[in-house]
Amino acid sequence: MSDASPVEPHPIGLSIRNGSKIYPGTQALKSVDFDLRMGAVNVLVGENGAGKSTLMKIIAGVEQLNGGTIELDGKPVVFADKADAAKQGVGIVFQELNLFPNLTVAENIFVGHEKTKAGIHIDSAAQTATARALMKRLEQEIDPNAPLGNLRIGQQQIVEIAKALAEDARILILDEPTSALSATEVEVLFRVIKDLKKQGVGIVYISHRLEELIRIGDYITVLRDGVITGSRSMQGVDIPWIVANMIGSASKEFPKTVEHELGAEIFRAEDVCLPSAAGGYAVDHMSLSVRAGEIVGLYGLMGAGRSELLECIMAQHPNSSGQLFISGKLVKEKSVAGRIRRGLALIPEDRKRDGLVQIMSIRENLTMSSLYDFTRGFHLSLKAELAKAADYVKRMAIKIASLEHPVSSLSGGNQQKVVIGKALMTKPRILLMDEPSRGIDIGAKAEIFRTMRRLAADGLGILFVTSDLEEVLALSDRILVMANGRLTGQFPAGAKASDVISAATPNLNRVEV
Amino acid sequence: MSSINAAGDVKTVTKGVKSRTSTLLLLLHMRTFVALILVFAFFAIAAPNFLSTGNMLIISKHVALNALLAIGMTFVIIAGGIDLSVGSIVGLCAMVAGYLVLFGIDLNFLGIAYSVQFNTIEICLIVLVVGVFIGWINGMLITKLNVAPFIATLGVLYVARGAALLFSEGRTFPNLAGNPEYGSDTFRIIGSGTLLGLPISVWIMIVVALLAAYLATRTPLGRHIYAVGGNERGAALSGVNVDRIKLFVYMFSGFCAAFVGLIISSQLQASHPATGETFELNAIAAAVLGGTSMSGGRGRIGGTIVGAFVIGILADGLIMMGVSSFWQTVIKGLVIIAAVVVDQIQQKLQARVVLQQNAN
C-alpha cells in the first residue's frame, strides 16, 4: 500500500478497514484493509479458500463483517443484505450462475426488479427492449425472448453480466467472468469494462488467469489465507510477483516423501472422452498413467474437466468413451461396483453430496462399499462389521464418541477420513482423490497428506485432483495439468510454480500481455 | 477455590440435565409404543367388551391387513419413494384370485375347448406373481423411464383399479367356496382359518414382518435400501446398484399387497373390484406413525407394526364407543400429525445430545 503513488487519478469509492469474517471453524478474513478505486479495475487474486469470495460477498452485502468497518464515499455503511447493497449501487456477477433456465433472457435480467406499470403489471415490451439494447451493447445476438436454458454456458454468463449492467451499478464485482467465455466474448467483455471505467464505475475483477489480470487490471490485491499479502497499482507487476504473494514462503506442513521405489504401471487411461452439454468435450481425449506407489497430482482451474475425468473412470458417465487398464488388463466392468472390485476407489469432491449418507451411522458409512465381505449367503454379520469398522477408525485416527452416531455429527476432517476409510476398506489398488483437502482444517489436512504418503509407500497408486498450487507442488511425484478438458502439461516433482500455472491457463495464446 | 466449586456444580447440573434428556429421549424413541399402550388402556376402560378374546381377534385381523401393506410401504419410503398403487393391487389381486377360484383359466382363446383349474396353493402363487409383477412395472417406470414415484404409482393406481373393474365388468365374484375336485375348496382357510388360536392372516403378517425386519437389519440388501433413501448419489458412488434396490422395494410392496388381496377375497368368500380403495393411505399413515421418515433413509419394521396397531385399535375402539365415523376420521388425522411433530422434536433433541457427546 505504501508504494501507491501520491497523485491518484482514481478516487477511493469504497474501503474496508480492519475487516474480519469468522465462519464456524475458520476465520476467512483477518483484519483486511481494502480500497476499491472508482473508474478502475481492482483485481483480486488468491488461491481457492484464500478469502476472495468472502471479501466480495461482504462488499456485495451477501455476508456481513464480524469486525471492522466499511466506508462508502467516506461515510460508514452497513449493508443489511444484497438488496440493500444493490440500492447503494453495488452489483455483483457471481461465479456460479444464478439464473433461471425456465425463464426467458429478458425475464432473467429483470428478475427481482421487474419493470412494471402501476406496480403490478409487468411491462414485457419495455423489458424486452432494454434487454435487446443490453445484448447489443455486449455485441451478442441473443434473443431476449429465448428461454435461458437454451443458451450455451458462455451465453448464460453474458446474460448474468447483462443483469448486473441493467442495475446501473456504480460498483461492479465480476467473479471469474471469463471462465466460460470464448476468446471473442472475452474481447467484448473487456471493451465493456473499458466503457464502464470511463463512466467512473469501480470494478472488482476476480480471476485465476494471471495474464488476463495483468492486462485488464489497474490495481491488484493478493490474498492468502484471509490476509492481504500484496496490494499495489498494476504497473510493474508480473506473474512471478503475483505467484510469490499467492503462495508465500512460509509453507504449510507437508510431510516428507517416504523413500520408496516406484513400481510398474498400475493404471492407465487411454483416450477418455466425455461430450459436454454445452458442445465440445468436457474431457477431451485424456490419456494418463499411474505407477504403483506413485502420487500423481492433477492440477487445473475450475471447469478444466478434472472431476469429470475421475467420474468417467468411476463409471459415472454412461456416454463417456475411452479405455482403462489396471495392471495392463482392460477394465470391462461398466458398473461402479464392478470397478470397485477391480481395485478402483474414488474419494469424491463433494463429501456431503457424494461421499456419505449423512443420516446413517459412522459404522454404516465406513462399511457401505464392502458389506459383502461380512456376508455369508444373505446374512450380514454385524459383529464382523463392527470389528472392521472399529479397526479402520483406529487406523485412520478418526475422532469419534461412538461408531453408532450419525456421520453428520463429525467435523469435516473426520468425515473425510470416514470417506477415505470406506474407500480403503475395498482394498483398492488405485485411489482417485478429488480435492481431498477441501473444507477441512489444517491439522486434518496434514493427517490426510500423511495418509496419502503412507498409502503410496505401501504400493498404492494415487491420482489426486487439486486446485491448490502449493499442495500439488509439495505432494506429487509427478504433476499433470489439465485445461479445457485436455492435458496441457506434465511436470516432474519440483517443477516451477509459474510453469504449472501457465499450463493451467487455457487461453494463454489469445491474451496478449 | 470458588472456581473449582463452580466447575463441580456445573458438572452435576449438566449430569442431571443429561439424565433427564436421555429419559425423555428414550420415551420419545418409544413414542409409538407408548401411544399404543395409552390407546389400549383407554379403550380397555372406556369401551365395554374391548378386552374380550373375540374382539381382540377381530382387531388383530383388521390390523394384519393394514400392517402387511405398511411393511411393503415402509421399504418403499425408506428407499426414498412412495407407492400409491397398493390399494389397487389389492383389488386386482382379489379379482384374479376370485376368477381363478370360480373359472380357472379357459383355454378357449387358443382354440382349445378346455379350462385349466388350480388348487389353493397354485392360486396363491399366481396371485402373488401378479402382485410382484405390478410392483415390477412400478419399479421399471421409476428406474428406467425416470417417472417420479408419486406419478408412476398414481398412474398404476388407476390402471390396476380399472383392470380390476374390467375383470368382472364391475360385478362381484360371489361364492368363492372353491371346488374339492380341483383342490381349491381350501381357499377359505387363508382368510378364516386359525392356527394355535390365531387367524392365518395374522400368522402371515407375523412371518412377513419377521422376514422384513431381518432383511432390513441383517442383510446387505436392507442396508442398501437405507443408503439409497439417505443419499442416492452417495450410495451409487459406493457401488450400490440403485436401480436394483428400487426395483426390489416396489416388487416387495406388490408382493405384500397381493397377500392382502388373497386374504380379503378368502375372508369374504367373494371378490369385489373396489376392494382396497384408499388402503394405500392407511399404509402410509401406519409407516409414518411408526417413525418412517417421508424423506427416506429412516424407519423400522417394528415401528410400522406398532403404528398399524395404533391406527387399528383407534378405529375399532372408537366404533365400539359409538363415536361417529366423521369424528373417527378427524381423530386419525390428528394422531398422524401429532406423530410427525413429536418425531421432529426427537430428531432435534437427538442431534443436540450427539453434539454434546462429541464435544466432551
pLDDT tens-digit readout, A198-207? 888 899 998 8
Separation between Cα atoms, residue A181 and residue A303, nearest integer Å:
12
Q: Calculate what percentage of chain B has a pLDDT beyond 90.
A: 55
CATH number at residue A197: 3.40.50.300
Mean pLDDT of A278-306: 87
3-state DSSP call for residue A376? Answer: strand
**Chain B residues with CB inside 8 Å of A406's CB?**
351, 354
Q: Given A346, A380, A426, which is nearest B218 (Cβ)?
A: A380
For residues A469 and A500, is the Cβ–Cβ distance under 8 A? yes
**Chain A residues with CB inside 8 Å of B298's CB?**
359
- In a domain, residue B233? The reply is yes
Separation between Cα atoms, residue B258 and residue B154, nearest integer Å:
18
Which of A195, A218, A247 is the last residue before a domain boundary?
A247
Q: Which residue from A449, A443, A395 is spatially nearest to A256, judged by alpha carbons?
A: A449
CB contact under 8 A, B239 and A316: no
Report residue B152 CA to chain centroid gap: 19
Question: A355-365 as b/e, with b when 16 or more CB fall inside 10 Å?
Answer: bbbbbbbbbbb
- Quickly count: other Cβ atoms within 10 Å of residue B23's Cβ: 10
Please count the structural domains in chain B.
1
Mean pLDDT of chain B: 87
- In a domain, residue A5? The reply is no
Angle between helices B220-230 and B200-218 (to 10 degrees): 70
- In a domain, residue A510? The reply is no
Q: Which residue of B has its CA nearest to A423?
A: B238
List of residues 6+ apart from B17 with CB closer than 8 A? none
The whole domain housing B91 covers 49-277+293-299
pLDDT given for residue B24 in this prediction: 76
| pLDDT of A278 above 50 | yes
- In a domain, residue B81? The reply is yes
- In a domain, residue A260? The reply is no
- In a domain, residue A259? The reply is no
- In a domain, residue B307? The reply is no
Band of residue A368 on the pLDDT scale cut at 50, 70, 90: very high
CA-CA-CA-CA dihedral for A210, A214, A219, A222, to nearest 10 = 20
Higher pLDDT, A178 or A433: A433
Q: Are residues A300 and A435 in the same domain?
A: yes
pLDDT given for residue B125 in this prediction: 96
Separation between Cα atoms, residue B86 and residue B70, nearest integer Å:
10
Q: What is the pLDDT of residues A95-109, one digit of tens each?
A: 777 888 888 999 988
pLDDT given for residue B210 in this prediction: 96
Band of residue A509 on the pLDDT scale cut at 50, 70, 90: very low
Separation between Cα atoms, residue B281 and residue B79, nearest integer Å:
18
Q: Calculate what percentage of chain A has a pLDDT beyond 90.
A: 31
Cell numbers 491518484: residue: A8
- In a domain, residue B254? The reply is yes
pLDDT given for residue A273 in this prediction: 93
| pLDDT of A464 above 90 | yes
List of residues 6+ apart from A41 with CB closer than 8 A? A193, A197, A203, A205, A216, A217, A218, A219
Separation between Cα atoms, residue B92 and residue B81, nearest integer Å:
22
Band of residue A301 on the pLDDT scale cut at 50, 70, 90: confident
> B291: which 3 cell numbers?
417413525
Compute the count of residue pairs across chains A and B with CB atoms less than 8 Å apart.
88
pLDDT given for residue A510 in this prediction: 41
List of residues 6+ apart from A35 with CB closer than 8 A? A12, A14, A15, A42, A219, A231
CB contact under 8 A, A348 and B360: no
**Chain A residues with CB inside 8 Å of B238's CB?**
336, 368-369, 422
- Quickly count: other Cβ atoms within 10 Å of residue A447's Cβ: 19
3-state DSSP call for residue A300? Answer: strand
Which of A220, A247, A274 is the last residue before a domain boundary?
A247
| pLDDT of A511 above 60 | no
Helices (H) and strands (E) counted in chain B, each on its own, are: 14, 4
Q: Which residue from B83, B42, B91 is spatially nearest to B65, judged by alpha carbons?
A: B91
Q: What is the largest CA-CA distance in chain A?
A: 82
- In a domain, residue B24? The reply is no
Mean pLDDT of B302-331: 90
Q: Given A316, A406, A426, which is nearest B354 (Cβ)?
A: A406
Question: A110-120 as b/e, with b when 16 or more CB fall inside 10 Å?
Answer: beeebbeeeee
- In a domain, residue B14? The reply is no
The count of C-alpha atoms lying within 13 angstroms of the C-alpha of B197, restricted to the half-sphere facing its C-beta, is 3
Q: What is the pLDDT of residues A217-248, one digit of tens each?
A: 999 999 888 888 888 888 888 878 888 887 76
| pLDDT of A445 above 60 | yes
Band of residue B340 on the pLDDT scale cut at 50, 70, 90: confident
For residues A479 and A299, is the Cβ–Cβ distance under 8 A? yes
Q: Which residue from A151, A125, A42 is spatially nearest to A90, judged by alpha carbons?
A: A42
CB contact under 8 A, B237 and A316: yes
Separation between Cα atoms, residue A125 and residue A143, nearest integer Å:
13
Q: What is the pLDDT of residues A137-193, one digit of tens each?
A: 888 888 999 888 888 777 888 888 888 888 888 899 998 887 777 777 788 888 889
Q: Which residue from B272, B277, B258, B260 is spatially nearest to B98, judged by alpha carbons?
A: B272
Q: What ipTM score was computed for the predicted complex, to two decimals?
A: 0.80
Mean pLDDT of A105-123: 84
The count of C-alpha atoms lying within 13 angstroms of the C-alpha of A189, restricted to the half-sphere facing its C-beta, is 28
- In a domain, residue A3? The reply is no
Q: Distance between the two ends of chain A, CA-based, in angstroms?
A: 24
- In a domain, residue A1? The reply is no
Band of residue A256 on the pLDDT scale cut at 50, 70, 90: low
Q: What is the pLDDT of residues A39-90, one digit of tens each?
A: 999 999 887 667 888 888 889 888 888 888 898 888 888 888 888 888 888 8
Q: Are residues A333 and A378 in the same domain?
A: yes
pLDDT given for residue B18 in this prediction: 57
Q: Which residue from A107, A106, A75 is spatially nearest to A88, judged by alpha carbons?
A: A75
CB contact under 8 A, A379 and B298: no
Mean pLDDT of A260-281: 86
CB contact under 8 A, B227 and A379: no
Higher pLDDT, A227 or A302: A227
Band of residue A326 on the pLDDT scale cut at 50, 70, 90: very high
- In a domain, residue B351? The reply is no
- Quickly count: other Cβ atoms within 10 Å of residue A140's Cβ: 19
Q: How far is A315 from chain B (nearest CA, A)?
A: 9
Separation between Cα atoms, residue A123 and residue A54, nearest integer Å:
36
Q: Are residues A398 and A465 in the same domain?
A: yes
Mean pLDDT of A362-386: 91
Band of residue B247 on the pLDDT scale cut at 50, 70, 90: very high
> B237: which 3 cell numbers?
458412488
Cα-flanking dihedrals φ and ψ of residue A104, to 5°? -80, 170
Q: Which residue of A has its CA nearest to B224?
A: A368
Q: Distance between the two ends of chain B, CA-based, in angstroms?
A: 24
Q: Are residues A192 and A298 in the same domain?
A: no
> B29: which 3 cell numbers?
424413541
Q: Are residues A349 and A223 in the same domain?
A: no
pLDDT given for residue A478 in this prediction: 93
Please count the structural domains in chain A.
2
Separation between Cα atoms, residue A490 and residue A492, nearest integer Å:
7
Q: Given A348, A364, A371, which is nearest B237 (Cβ)?
A: A348
CA-CA-CA-CA dihedral for B55, B60, B62, B68, to nearest 10 = 180
Per mean pLDDT, which of A207-211, A301-305, B162-166 is the most reliable? B162-166
pLDDT given for residue A139 in this prediction: 82
DSSP for A195-260, written as a single string: HHHHTT-EEEEE-S-HHHHHHH-SEEEEEETTEEEEEEESTT--HHHHHHHHH-SS----PPPPP-
Q: Are residues A314 and A401 in the same domain?
A: yes
pLDDT given for residue B10 in this prediction: 39
Separation between Cα atoms, residue B96 and residue B327, nearest integer Å:
35
Higher pLDDT, A84 or A507: A84
Separation between Cα atoms, residue B235 and residue A415, nearest integer Å:
16
Q: Which residue from A160, A26, A24, A148 is spatially nearest to A445, judged by alpha carbons?
A: A26
Q: Are residues A165 and A276 in the same domain?
A: no
Where is A69: in which H helix or E strand? Answer: strand A67-72
For residues B92 and B137, is the Cβ–Cβ distance under 8 A? no
Q: Are residues A158 and A187 in the same domain?
A: yes
| pLDDT of A403 above 70 | yes
CA distances from A8 to A33, A97, A217, A318 (A): 18, 35, 16, 57
Exposed / middle / buried, residue A137 (Cβ in 10 Å: 0-12, 13-18, 19+): middle
Interface of A with B (CB under 8 A): 314, 316, 335-337, 340, 346, 348, 353-360, 364, 368-369, 371-372, 375, 378-380, 382, 400-402, 405-406, 409-410, 422, 426
**Chain B residues with CB inside 8 Å of A386's CB?**
none
The whole domain housing A217 covers 12-247
Per mean pLDDT, which of A315-324, A346-355, A461-470, B134-143 is the most reliable? B134-143
- In a domain, residue B346? The reply is no
Q: Which residue from A446, A443, A423 is spatially nearest to A433, judged by alpha carbons?
A: A423
pLDDT given for residue A427 in this prediction: 93
Q: Which residue of B has its CA nearest to A376?
A: B219
B56/A contact by beta carbon, under 8 A: no
Q: What is the pLDDT of residues B146-203, one digit of tens each?
A: 999 999 999 999 999 999 999 888 899 988 887 788 888 888 888 888 889 899 999 9
- In a domain, residue A208? The reply is yes
pLDDT given for residue A24 in this prediction: 64
Residue window 222-251, chain B: list those with CB within 8 Å of chain A: 222-224, 226-227, 230-231, 233-241
Separation between Cα atoms, residue A318 and residue B129, nearest integer Å:
33
Q: How far is A408 from chain B (nearest CA, A)?
A: 9
Q: Which residue from A476, A479, A498, A505 is spatially nearest to A490, judged by alpha carbons?
A: A479
pLDDT given for residue B279 in this prediction: 94
- In a domain, residue A255? The reply is no
| pLDDT of B6 above 50 | no
Q: Are residues A273 and A235 in the same domain?
A: no
| pLDDT of B1 above 50 | no
**Chain A residues with CB inside 8 Å of B210's CB?**
none
pLDDT given for residue B87 in this prediction: 96
